[in-house]
Amino acid sequence: MTPTTKGEDDELIDPPGIFAAKLATEAQWEEIADKALKLFARGQELASKRGLILVDTKYEMGVDEDGKLTIADEVHTPDSSRYWVAESYEQRFAAGQEPESLDKEFFRLWLREQGFEYGEKATWPSITDDVRLSLSAKYIDLYERITGKKFTLPPVGSTAKRIEKNLEKYRSSLLPAHCSLANKVPSHPSFHKKPGW
């Protein structure tokens, strides 16, 4: 396990640093480590049944208002995890090739080939349709392998309206009566396209 702080740039931190910064107590850290390792083992088990290798992942954890440990973000998605195709792994490894991945690693490698470096003043390269389609195909392939279901495209229309509609379906069942979500969740800046997308 490699704990990091959450910020603009994730920074490595060891357990003594976590305790010194009062980010977690020793008991909380033990629970975090235990849950993370169990969750990862379960993810590997499920991936293996689908012909995949769950290589690594990240979990964002915190505590709720009652002090209960909670996962704060996505779990085992191709944005937070690396998946390799088990069937081709050994052959590609023996040939000195990159593993066949079904995650965003393809895009990271492409960005590196373009000379892109993350940072505040980074200029995004123009992303070709071929790159977009290749990445989409990898995500769809992963979805179909993990779920065992055929991926179907959502109906054509406004993405923002579709997200709002889907959120509305679950709002009442997932949130306590005293909570509410902003009506314009998709207008949040994180939903805006990056330059070149």
Say which CATH number the domain at 41 has: 3.30.470.20
26 located within any domain: yes
Q: Which token pair is 124? A: 């995004």
Answer yes or no: is 40 within a domain. yes
Name the token pair of 73. 């973000």
In the chain, % helix, strand, coil (3-state, to 5) comes to: 45, 10, 45
Residue 147 inside a domain? The answer is yes
**Residue 75 confidence (pLDDT):** 94
- Residue showing tokens 């979805």: 143
Q: What is the pLDDT of residue 173?
A: 63
Residue 21's domain spans which residues? 4-153
pLDDT per residue, tens digit, the chain (197 aa), is 889 887 777 789 999 999 999 988 999 999 999 999 999 999 999 999 999 999 999 999 888 889 899 888 899 999 999 999 999 999 999 999 999 999 999 999 999 999 998 877 888 899 999 999 999 999 999 999 999 999 998 777 888 888 888 888 777 666 554 433 333 333 333 333 334 43
Q: Report in angstroms the alpha-carbon separations of 57 from 2, 67, 156.
A: 10, 24, 32
**Number of domains comprising the chain:** 1
Closest alpha carbon to 55 in 63, 47, 65, 66: 47
Q: How far apart are CA 138 and CA 102, in angstroms?
A: 5
Q: Per the domain annotation, does 160 fall within a domain?
A: no
